[in-house]
């Protein structure tokens, strides 16, 4: 019978092979410094924009890992409101989204506060404001009192991937975990984030939401590693992209007798990839900042501002009058007037494809 890591004595005395992680660890630390340096050269507005984008992605992608699709604009608006960032076209958010955002912002903006049982229970309650996970009533704002298995497959043919720590041991294990989080100061904070993520997932202390809370703890420790609540990359986006490997490595290392080298290597590689992909996002943010600098005196209305920002952020497909009208909730006539106005100002142009539905795109620009 293969044992789980927590069935070994002193299982939390984790070990790893320095040789296997050193080069990668050095690269990650170097990249962190580089990204912070790059971001500090941005203007205040562009920096705010980068933080807003990274936090929005983190919230959306962390939920997507669990198979839940949140509305990007609602998440973005909720974060912008709470951080006091003035962005055009704010939309109202559902109670559930507000809760998920609350948890993420508490983790990243108050990274230097102690992580206590009360704080964790608050996060859990924020994730499940109705007391239900989907159609199921769950134990909210407290540790689970039932067995926990991670299973997949059709009914009657379920495959057990993991059986978590017994419910009567959860409180003892979590007390030990929280004491370590708050008092372990000798370990590099990036390594601490890697270990904390694994340790928390192994305990699986809640009825549901363990993955999202585990990732929030990771983000909190990474913010501490950088000494800043400003977030410029999204670890959850990268975990989603590498989800298959994430589960494979977890499944393998959960049976180790204490050596978690393979997990740390995966975590550092994932973090490195998250920072690499943020460089593309940074380019988009810089481009957007340049655009608005160029047009700071150009009169545009709120509808136009909303669509122009979307074109730099997350616009999918072709820009047509019908799509403009739908996004800003206006008539086709008003949408066409808005578009023609921007064409006249040299901001938009009609693409070469003809036909009944004309397509539009941004005119290429560069700062003098």
Provide, rounded to the nearest whole percent, the portion of the chain with pLDDT above 70. 98
Beta bridge partners of 163: 149
- The answer to whether residues 112 and 42 belong to one domain is yes
pLDDT at 19: 97
Beta bridge partners of 360: 319, 350
Q: Give the rounded distance of the alpha carbon of 11 from its chain centre.
A: 30
- pLDDT at residue 89 is higher than 80: no
Tell me, what CATH number does 247's domain have? 1.10.3290.10
- Kindly state whether residue 296 falls inside one of the protein's structural domains: no
Beta bridge partners of 136: 133
- pLDDT at residue 332 is higher than 90: yes
- The answer to whether residues 329 and 226 belong to one domain is no
Residue 259, phi then psi, degrees to nearest 5: -85, 115
Mean pLDDT value of segment 7-30 = 97
pLDDT at 354: 63
Helix H, strand E, coil C: the string for 268-313 is HHHHHHHHHHHHHHHHHHHHHHHHHHHCCCCCCCHHHHHHHHHHHC
- Kindly state whether residue 367 falls inside one of the protein's structural domains: no
- Kindly state whether residue 204 falls inside one of the protein's structural domains: yes
- The answer to whether residues 227 and 137 belong to one domain is yes
- The answer to whether residues 250 and 313 belong to one domain is no
- pLDDT at residue 355 is higher than 70: no
Distances (CA, A) of 78 to 15, 132, 310, 314: 41, 22, 17, 17
Distances (CA, A) of 360 to 48, 122, 127, 292, 367: 28, 46, 40, 19, 22
In angstroms, the CA 222 to CA 224 distance is: 5
- The answer to whether residues 98 and 163 belong to one domain is yes
Mean pLDDT value of segment 116-136 = 96
Mean pLDDT value of segment 317-327 = 93
- Kindly state whether residue 336 falls inside one of the protein's structural domains: yes
In angstroms, the CA 45 to CA 34 distance is: 20
In angstroms, the CA 105 to CA 220 distance is: 9
pLDDT at 367: 64
- The answer to whether residues 268 and 342 belong to one domain is no
Quote the domain boundaries for residue 43: 5-287
Tens-digit pLDDT profile for residues 276-321 = 988 777 778 778 888 988 998 999 999 999 999 999 887 888 899 9
- The answer to whether residues 283 and 311 belong to one domain is no
Domain boundary among 287, 316, 338: 287
pLDDT band at 206 (very low <50, low <70, confident <90, very high): very high
Sign of CA dihedral 178, 179, 185, 188: negative
Nearest CA-CA partner of 275 in 29, 18, 26, 20: 29
In angstroms, the CA 205 to CA 201 distance is: 8
Q: Where are the alpha helices (DSSP H) in the chain?
A: 18-40, 44-65, 72-83, 95-109, 117-127, 167-183, 189-203, 210-226, 235-241, 243-253, 261-294, 302-312, 321-328, 332-344
pLDDT band at 128 (very low <50, low <70, confident <90, very high): very high
pLDDT band at 271 (very low <50, low <70, confident <90, very high): very high
pLDDT at 252: 96
More confident residue, 36 or 345: 345
- The answer to whether residues 91 and 181 belong to one domain is yes
Contact yes or no for 201/253 (Cβ under 8 A): no
- The answer to whether residues 313 and 280 belong to one domain is no
Tens-digit pLDDT profile for residues 237-249 = 999 999 999 999 9
- The answer to whether residues 189 and 334 belong to one domain is no
pLDDT at 183: 97
> Terminal CA-to-CA distance of the chain, rounded, Å?
70
pLDDT, the chain, mean:
93
Domain boundary among 287, 318, 350: 287
pLDDT band at 169 (very low <50, low <70, confident <90, very high): very high
Q: Pairing state of beta strands 132-133 and 348-350?
A: unpaired
pLDDT at 238: 96
pLDDT at 65: 95
- The answer to whether residues 72 and 152 belong to one domain is yes
- Kindly state whether residue 227 falls inside one of the protein's structural domains: yes
Domain total of the chain: 2
Tell me, what CATH number does 323's domain have? 1.10.10.10
Contact yes or no for 298/347 (Cβ under 8 A): yes
- Kindly state whether residue 196 falls inside one of the protein's structural domains: yes
In angstroms, the CA 80 to CA 87 distance is: 7
The model carries a pTM of: 0.83
pLDDT band at 254 (very low <50, low <70, confident <90, very high): very high
Helix H, strand E, coil C: the string for 90-118 is CCCCCHHHHHHHHHHHHHHHCCCCCCCHH
- Kindly state whether residue 295 falls inside one of the protein's structural domains: no
Domain boundary among 260, 287, 314: 287
- Kindly state whether residue 297 falls inside one of the protein's structural domains: no
Burial class (CB in 10 A: 0-12, 13-18, 19+), 277: middle
Residue 349, H or E segment = strand 348-350
- The answer to whether residues 252 and 349 belong to one domain is no
Tens-digit pLDDT profile for residues 90-106 = 788 999 999 999 999 99
More confident residue, 294 or 192: 192
pLDDT band at 368 (very low <50, low <70, confident <90, very high): low
């Amino acid at each position: 019978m293969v044992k789980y890591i927590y069935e070994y004595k002193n299982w939390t005395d984790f070990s790893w092979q320095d040789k296997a992680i050193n080069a990668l660890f050095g690269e990650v630390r170097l990249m962190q410094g580089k990204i912070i340096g790059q971001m500090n050269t941005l203007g205040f507005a562009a920096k705010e924009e980068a933080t807003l984008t990274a936090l929005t992605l983190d919230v959306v992608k962390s939920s997507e890992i669990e198979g839940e699709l949140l509305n990007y604009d609602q998440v973005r608006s909720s974060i912008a409101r709470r951080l006091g960032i003035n962005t055009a076209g704010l939309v109202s958010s559902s109670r559930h989204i507000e809760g998920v955002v609350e948890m993420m912002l508490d983790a990243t903006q108050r990274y230097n506060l102690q992580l206590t049982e009360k704080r964790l229970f608050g996060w859990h309650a924020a994730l499940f404001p109705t007391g239900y996970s989907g159609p199921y009533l769950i134990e909210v704002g407290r540790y689970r009192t039932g067995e926990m298995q991670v299973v997949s497959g059709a009914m009657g043919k379920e495959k057990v991937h993991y059986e978590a720590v017994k419910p009567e041991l959860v409180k003892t294990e979590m007390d030990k975990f929280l004491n370590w989080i708050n008092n372990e100061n000798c370990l590099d904070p990036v390594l601490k984030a890697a270990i904390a993520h694994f340790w928390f997932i192994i305990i699986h202390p809640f009825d549901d939401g363990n993955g999202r809370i585990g990732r929030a703890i990771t983000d909190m420790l990474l913010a501490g590693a950088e000494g800043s609540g400003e977030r410029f990359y999204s670890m959850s986006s990268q975990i989603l992209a590498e989800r298959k490997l994430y589960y494979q490595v977890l499944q393998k290392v959960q049976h180790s007798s204490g050596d978690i080298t393979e997990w740390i290597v995966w975590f550092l590689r994932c973090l490195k990839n998250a920072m690499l992909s943020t460089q593309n996002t940074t380019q988009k943010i810089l481009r957007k900042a340049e655009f608005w600098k160029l047009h700071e005196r150009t009169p545009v209305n709120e509808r136009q501002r909303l669509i122009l920002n979307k074109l730099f952020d997350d616009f999918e497909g072709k820009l047509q009058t019908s799509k403009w009208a739908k996004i800003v909730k206006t008539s086709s006539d008003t949408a066409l007037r808005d578009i023609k106005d921007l064409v006249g100002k040299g901001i938009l142009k009609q693409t070469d494809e003809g036909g009944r539905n004309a397509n539009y795109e941004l005119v290429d620009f560069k700062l003098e």
